[in-house]
Structure 1
Amino acid sequence: MNAHDEGSPEGINPNEPSIARVYDYALGGKDNFAADREMGDRVMELMPEIPLMARHNRLLLGRVVRFLAGEAGIGRFLDIGAGLPTMENVHEVAQAIRPEAKVVYVDNDPVALAHARALLATTGDTHVLDADMYEPERILAEADSLMDLDQPVAVMMLSMLHFVPDEDAHRIVRTVMDGVPAGSYLAISHFGDTPRARKATSFYRASGAQVVPRTPEQVAEFLNGLDLVPPGVVSLPEWRPDKSVPEVDLMGPMAMVCGVGRKP
């Protein structure tokens, strides 16, 4: 039993699973309830690679942020669908390279927000925004008030667009990228459209959660109009791998894909 099972923060229903907390469970975290673990176990029965995918997704975040803060020279980061704090958070990676980097985390899960605010209480250039990803105009307006979106920004949408249906997903991406300056970047990671992913999708939908696995070609459509950063849209371990990348072929070639693009 995790600590949160003994009592939950106000406004949180511990009997209703949360995507952010299921992801935390897949990573081996402790900020989840029995309902989250039950959903996680059911999904992992259908997709045993989920914990490895979660680990690779977190490793990808570190590589992407190091590239953006270092080689790309980006000093502002907007992490939409940030989830629960864990290893190598965006601000920690970015500010280790560029101490003046500003980061805004966006989420609307109460547990994720509580933990993020506690973690960032003493970090002046890092902020937490309680907002729904379906309200991109509001996200842009509030992020601008926190870190002035007058310079290129790195928009992080890791492991979140597969929870959004096509029309809304493209609207969110288009609105956000239209609202940031030239030279900004978009980084995405996304469930691949594999047979096991489709089985897991059916379970998620039966549990009331929308999940839309997409092919690499469909994921690439989110980056239309941007200059793709090599190697393009690839499996997570294949994006600029370094010594941190383990067990490459245990996950399958396209179980989860990713890509980074620059706004010209």
Structure 2
Amino acid sequence: MARTGGAVSGGIDPERPSSARVYDAVLGGKDSYASDRAVVDDLLAVAPGLGELARDNRAFLARAVRYLAGTVGIDQFLDCGSGLPAEENLHQIAQRANPDATVVYVDNDPMVAAHGRALLTENENVRFAAGDLTDPAALLAEPVVARGLDWSRPIALLQLSTLHHVPDEVGMPELMARYLDALPPGSFLVLSHIFQPGAEDPEAAALAERLEATFLNSALGSGWFRTREEITACFAGAEIFEPGLVVLADWWPDGPRAEPLEPVRRLLLGGIARKE
């Protein structure tokens, strides 16, 4: 499920699938090409309920931003790997709680860039920067990021369904440590990542293995399911809020769950942490 990876490109290549467009297609969006839909078709053949998992991710974003903007009072958001617009967008949720909230979207997909820059004409507190999240120093030095946010005050950093497209050799915990080191005290990290539950949930673990093989053998070539311990390492140096790192449907749900979750919906974990 997701949205980033690779170098910033100056143009759209319809022959090569994009994680942003694949994610949009799984959500039911229309901003995709045949190459993206071929990946989605293969994934849906393994897990027909994958769209529900993508919608869980969007719902988690909405609840997390409502909490941070409305309850905590965070008014600055940096969304790395923001992806294509999908109702509701982060800035719409945050600005409903605080009309003055500032949102900076960052992505390396040229189609996302076109949509992101269109938002600039609609809202003066929304900004977009092209950047590769695997290079924190360059991303944070982008003028739109460096000057568009007040780095003397808390910022909410979102990494939603992005890091599972980052290969192990990049060093995911070290990557996130660089982001957390740069954030002001009192800032928050909101993160979701596809999950390999192993022995704690054998049925879902078997599905995770099949989905990972499909991701990696596709033209997309990325999508690693990681263990709870590996995902938790991304929060090192920050305090994870209750209920901890959990299946997204269980992170402060809007209402009681009517029935058990299908295995596919148990394959995405998320949480929020605060930097002291």
The TM-score with structure 1 as length reference comes to: 0.91
- Give the match for residue 132 of structure 1: 132
Q: 1:23/1:128 Cα in 2 relative to 1: closer, same or farther (>3 Å)?
A: same
Aligned-pair CA distance for 1:165: 2.1
Structure 2 residue aligned with 1:241: 253
CA distance change for structure 1 residues 203 and 252 in 2, over 3 Å: closer, same or farther?
Answer: closer
Gap runs ≥5 in structure 2 = 1-9, 197-204
Provide the C-alpha distance between the structure 2 equivalents of 1:122 and 1:92, rounded to a whole number of angstroms: 11
Q: Distance in 1 between matches of 2:86 and 2:258?
A: 18
Structure 2 residue corresponding to 1:204, chosen from 185, 203, 215: 215
Q: Amino acid of the residue matched to residue 154 of structure 1?
A: A
1:79 maps to a residue whose letter is D
Q: Secondary structure at the match of 1:122?
A: coil
CA distance in 2 between counterparts of 1:248 and 1:229 reads 24
Give the Cα separation in 1 of the matches to 2:70 and 2:130. Answer: 28
Match 1:180 to one of 163, 183, 191: 183
Letter in 2 for 1:13: D
**1:153/1:127 CA distance change after superposition, 3 Å:** same
Q: Match for 1:147: what amino acid?
A: L
Q: Give distance in 2, aligned partners of 1:109 and 1:171.
A: 24
> Secondary structure at the residue paired with 1:187?
strand
CA offsets 1:103-161 (integer angstroms, 9 cap, x no match): 11010101111112223322111101100111111222221211222210000000011
What are the equivalent positions in structure 2 for 1:65-144 lying under 5 Å apart? 65-142=65-142, 143-144=145-146
Equivalent residue, structure 1, for 2:163: 161
Give the drift of 1:245: 7.5
- In structure 2, what is the Cα distance between the partners aligned to 1:132 and 1:81? 8
1:258 maps to what in 2? 270
User: Match for 2:26: what amino acid?
Assistant: A
Question: Aligned partners of 1:70, 1:246: CA distance in 2, in Å?
Answer: 27
1:247 offset after TM fit, Å? 6.6
Q: Which amino acid aligns with 2:69?
A: A
Give the equivalent residue in structure 1 for 2:36.
36
- Once superposed, what is the RMSD of the aligned Cα atoms? 1.8
C-alpha contact 2:195 2:227 (8 A) present in aligned 1: yes
Partner Cα separation in structure 2 for residue 247 and residue 35 of structure 1: 35
Secondary structure of 1:96 counterpart: helix
1:42-98 deviations in whole A, cap 9, x for unaligned? Answer: 011122231111001001000000011122211110000000011111111001101
Residue number in structure 1 paired with 2:199: none
* Equivalent residue in structure 2 for 1:146, among 145, 148, 151: 148
Q: Which residue of 2 aligns with 1:195?
A: 206
Structure 1: which 5+ runs fail to align? 1-9
Question: Contact (CA 8 Å) 1:216, 1:234: kept in 2 or not?
Answer: no
Cα distance in structure 2, aligned partners of 1:89 and 1:151: 23
| Alignment partners' CA distance in 1, 2:223 and 2:192 | 14
Q: Which moved more, 1:43-52 or 1:100-109?
A: 43-52
Counterpart Cα distance in 2 of 1:236 and 1:246: 15
Q: Match of 1:94, SS?
A: helix
In 1, Cα distance between the equivalents of 2:49 and 2:20? Answer: 18
Task: Measure, in 2, the Cα distance between the counterparts of 1:244 and 1:140.
Answer: 39
Task: Kindly state the Cα deviation for residue 251 of structure 1 after the two structures are TM-superposed.
Answer: 4.7
Shift of 1:102: 0.7
1:227 matched residue in structure 2: 239
Secondary structure at 2:193 match in 1: strand
